[in-house]
Amino acid sequence: RSIDQACEKVLGFTKFSEHDSFAGIADAAWFSPLDYCKLDIFNPVDIDVSGIQNELIYAESEGFGVENINNSEGSSFSASKTDKWLANSNGFLEYFASTYYSRSSCFLAQKGNSMERDYAFDCSRNYSSLRDHSEIAIEASRKAASRLNPVKIKSKEMPVLFSNEAARSIISPIISALSGGNQYQEKSFLLNSIGKNIAPKEINFSERPYDPGMIATTPFDSEGVTIHCPDVIKNGMVERYFLSSYSGRKLGLNTTGNAGGVRNLLIHPTIEEFSQEVSKIPELFLVTELMGQGVNVITGDFSRGVTGVLLKYGKVIHPISEVTIAGNYKDLLHQIVFIGDDIDYRGKINTGSILIDKLSVSGK
């Protein structure tokens, strides 16, 4: 009955909608779903609730063992199983199941009048692959303590290194700019960029939606499309956009299997042992957190609040807060010095730390 009601409502909406020749179900030629059992995304286990409770209690005690930790916002564990069916009138009817497990902790540190918080987490399709929760709690506590008594530095242009966690926030606007929706609406700082060099030749982005065991792996996209167009940026040049069947039709291109977004986008490292290169730089700003959404996807201009630490020849000098970085993405892309090999695989964007030659840092 609920399906019938949904169909009735949709049909009612059509009375007030203009005809769109680009709308419609994906072409059946793109339907060749993979066997989800071969993708290592479904790993159910029986959860011992009392055992998990004991792990959480122990993790909290370990977190409180770090100097200057005075409070906790909690430690948590989650486990979920998802069943997804997708059917359409073009002959597609498929199902897949997946599991997701996560652990996280958040602690507060205080020293004098300075109080800071930070967190740490881990996630996996497989319960046995999760890091020990006490390790996560200790990491969260150490991160919080390392932020105590931050300094507001003078405004200047300087090299900026984004940690692998922070780097995901730097990559997201690039994905938006290359999305089919922003391309056909002409609302992108990378408009009509296929075949154009937008970054140094060492820069490569590729998508791997069917890699086994990855967080964003699924056997098909949200339209049922199974297609592999790995290269997104190759040798600094844009190879393709992120397209659904609709945005593809609007642009006169084929879908790239990106209905529902990107899946396992790898930002390829350009350097090994990047810490050695960092140790050669007289002064740089290591950004560990970005705040706000201050990015104009049309122009590429950005201005975002950040926190992190000041490094001199790779050594930590002091934490930094209450500063802003600003610039334009077209310049930022060309100013990438390296992408580290410390790749964070805990999400749909997989990247290492990213060093930018120089950015405007606004402080005092």
Q: What is the DSSP string of 330-342?
A: HHHHHTEEEE-S-
Element (H, E) at 248: helix 245-251
> Token pair for residue 313?
């020849």
Do 186 and 296 sit in the same domain of this protein? yes
Residues contacting residue 299 through CB under 8 Å, at least 6 positions apart:
189, 328
Closest alpha carbon to 329 in 293, 306, 361, 302: 302
| Per-residue pLDDT, 17 | 79
Three-state DSSP at 233 gives: strand
| Per-residue pLDDT, 325 | 96
| Per-residue pLDDT, 68 | 98
At 39-96, the pLDDT tens digits run 999 999 999 999 999 999 999 999 999 999 999 999 999 999 999 999 999 989 999 9
Per DSSP, 351 falls in state B
| Per-residue pLDDT, 210 | 95
Do 178 and 247 sit in the same domain of this protein? yes
From residue 188, alpha-carbon distances to 10, 144, 173, 324 in Å are 31, 37, 10, 23
Percent with pLDDT over 70 in the chain: 100
Per DSSP, 315 falls in state E
| Per-residue pLDDT, 108 | 98
Note whether residue 40 is domain-resident. no
Query: Residue 61 carries which side chain, given as an amino acid letter?
Result: S
93-111 sheet: strands from edge to edge: 69-87, 93-111, 114-124
Do 128 and 220 sit in the same domain of this protein? no
Residues 39, 210 contacting (CB under 8 angstroms): yes
Do 85 and 123 sit in the same domain of this protein? yes
Residues 63, 75 contacting (CB under 8 angstroms): yes
Do 8 and 99 sit in the same domain of this protein? no
Percent with pLDDT over 90 in the chain: 88
Residue 364 has pLDDT above 80, yes or no: no
Last residue of a domain, one of 88, 112, 146: 146
> Token pair for residue 208?
């791997």
Domain count, the chain: 2
Do 26 and 6 sit in the same domain of this protein? yes
Do 12 and 140 sit in the same domain of this protein? no
| Per-residue pLDDT, 130 | 98
From residue 235, alpha-carbon distances to 125, 131, 189 in Å are 32, 35, 19
Closest alpha carbon to 117 in 66, 73, 65: 73
Note whether residue 37 is domain-resident. no
Query: 110: pLDDT confidence band, cut at 50, 70 and 90?
Result: very high
Residue 181: how many CB atoms within 10 A of its CB?
Answer: 16
CA angle 245, 246, 250 (to 5 degrees): 115
| Per-residue pLDDT, 123 | 98
- The pTM assigned to this predicted structure is 0.93
Residue 264 has pLDDT above 90, yes or no: yes
Closest alpha carbon to 262 in 230, 224, 302: 230
For residue 160, the enclosing domain spans 1-30+150-364
At 114-160, the pLDDT tens digits run 999 999 999 999 999 999 999 999 999 999 999 999 999 999 999 99
349-350 sheet: strands from edge to edge: 237-238, 231-234, 205-207, 265-267, 349-350
Strands (E) located in 23-138: 69-87, 93-111, 114-124
CATH label of the domain that carries residue 105: 3.30.2290.10
Do 121 and 158 sit in the same domain of this protein? no
Do 333 and 207 sit in the same domain of this protein? yes
Note whether residue 44 is domain-resident. no
Last residue of a domain, one of 103, 130, 146: 146
Note whether residue 43 is domain-resident. no
The mean per-residue pLDDT over the stretch 164-193 comes to 97
Do 294 and 191 sit in the same domain of this protein? yes
Residue 5 has pLDDT above 90, yes or no: no
Note whether residue 38 is domain-resident. no
Do 200 and 266 sit in the same domain of this protein? yes
At 213-239, the pLDDT tens digits run 999 999 999 999 998 889 999 999 999
| Per-residue pLDDT, 189 | 98
Report d(CA 227, CA 111) in Å as an integer: 54
| Per-residue pLDDT, 102 | 99
Last residue of a domain, one of 112, 146, 180: 146
At 311-361, the pLDDT tens digits run 999 999 999 999 999 999 999 999 999 999 999 999 999 999 999 999 999
Residues 116, 147 contacting (CB under 8 angstroms): yes
Three-state DSSP at 206 gives: strand
Note whether residue 58 is domain-resident. yes
- The CA-based diameter of the chain, rounded to the nearest angstrom, is 68
Note whether residue 309 is domain-resident. yes
At 284-314, the pLDDT tens digits run 999 999 998 889 999 999 999 999 999 999 9
| Per-residue pLDDT, 9 | 87
